[in-house]
Structure 1
Amino acid sequence: MSVATVTEISATSTESFDDAVKQGIDRASKTLRNIRGAWVKENNVNVEDGKVTEYKVNMQVTFELDT
């Protein structure tokens, strides 16, 4: 039997939404063990002078608890 929990994180990138997800998971994996998946809840962009300057994702990361 395994037990999992979910934590919500936000991550940003100047390149793309995909890169923001990768950076978020990379950073989360430095603190959380046994990450099993993530659900991207929201995508947002910051805009300056009519141009996208930053991509932001809010996601829920699921990880198994140690037994």
Structure 2
Amino acid sequence: MTAPVFKKLELVGTSNKSLSDAIANAVARAKQMEPNLRWFEVVEQRGAVIDGEIQYQVTISLGVKLE
């Protein structure tokens, strides 16, 4: 059996609620795009103020197992 190989993607998730919600949004979207999603890593956390409201933003790196 050969060792698995992964491709790496990077996404930015956003939320008006929290950083953890921004992560969950990004991972949920990634799972729709990539059924072989295996792991994620938070690369960057930041925020923005848009029309007086806080928007939480996270950059995540994702590992997708190749068939």
What TM-score does the superposition give when structure 1 sets the normalisation length?
0.86
Q: From the two aligned structures, give the one with the greater helix fraction.
A: 2
Q: CA RMSD in A?
A: 1.6
What TM-score does the superposition give when structure 2 sets the normalisation length?
0.86
Give aligned-pair identity as a percent: 28
Q: 1:14 touches 1:54 (CA, 8 Å); kept in 2?
A: yes
TM-fit CA distance, 1:47:
2.3
Residue 43 of structure 2 corresponds to residue 37 of structure 1: no
Residue 61 (structure 2) aligns with: 60
Q: For 2:21 and 2:38, locate their aligned partners in 1 and report how far apart those are by CA, in whole Å.
A: 19
| Structure 1 residue ranges (4+ consecutive) displaced by more than 4 angstroms after TM superposition | none
Give matches, 1:1-67, under 5 Å: 1-47=3-49, 53-66=54-67
Aligned length: 65
Q: For 2:38 and 2:31, locate their aligned partners in 1 and report how far apart those are by CA, in whole Å.
A: 10
